[in-house]
Amino acid sequence: MRSLVLASTINPVRRASSRRAVATLVVLAFLLTSACATVTAGQDPIVVNAERVLKIAPSVYDSAMIFAHTGNVKLSADAANALETFRKTFPSLYRTADQALATYKATKAGDVTVAVTALERALVEANATVVNFGGPALLGGAK
């Protein structure tokens, strides 16, 4: 009985941010492990990971924007702002990662990992926001 009382007194904002952190870590772990699993002998793991992130990014973006703008769920101001920031920054993040990959493929130079990681982080954060409001897991896995 005492645990029920304690659970009901936990700040709902704290629970939501805690769930978001867990969802973000799970998705990030999924992305990192799936990147390692798809590299075969002779392939450059940096290229494989960058191509994988660039391949899934547009569908994650589209799904997040559909979720944000269908009006089926009332988003908090923070969630709406997070998805609006994602909408504004995604094109630049995507182009930067794509250009960094092209440079890396041509010259084996440049910091493609930083650009791809920034894009990947944006995808993970958008996914966590959608999942926290009852939407689908945009990066695979369970809600």
DSSP letters, 85-133, are: HHHHHHHHHHHHHHHHHHHHHHHS-S-HHHHHHHHHHHHHHHHHHHHHT
Return the pLDDT at 5: 41
Instruction: Confirm whether 142 is domain-assigned.
Output: no
Return the pLDDT at 41: 80
Instruction: Confirm whether 66 is domain-assigned.
Output: yes
More confident of the two residues 83 and 30: 83
Is the Cβ–Cβ distance between 97 and 115 less than 8 Å?
Answer: yes
Query: Containing H/E element for 35?
Result: helix 12-37
Instruction: Confirm whether 140 is domain-assigned.
Output: no
Instruction: Confirm whether 55 is domain-assigned.
Output: yes
Q: Write down the pTM of the prediction.
A: 0.72
Q: Is the pLDDT of residue 27 over 60?
A: no
Instruction: Confirm whether 79 is domain-assigned.
Output: yes
Return the pLDDT at 40: 82
Domain hosting residue 126, numbered range: 2-132
In this prediction, residues 43-68 reach a mean pLDDT of 96
Instruction: Confirm whether 45 is domain-assigned.
Output: yes
Residue 6 binned pLDDT confidence (cut-offs 50, 70, 90)? very low
In this prediction, residues 112-140 reach a mean pLDDT of 95
pLDDT winner (highest mean) among 29-33, 40-44, 56-60:
56-60
Instruction: Confirm whether 24 is domain-assigned.
Output: yes
In this prediction, residues 46-65 reach a mean pLDDT of 96
More confident of the two residues 109 and 93: 93
Domain count, the chain: 1
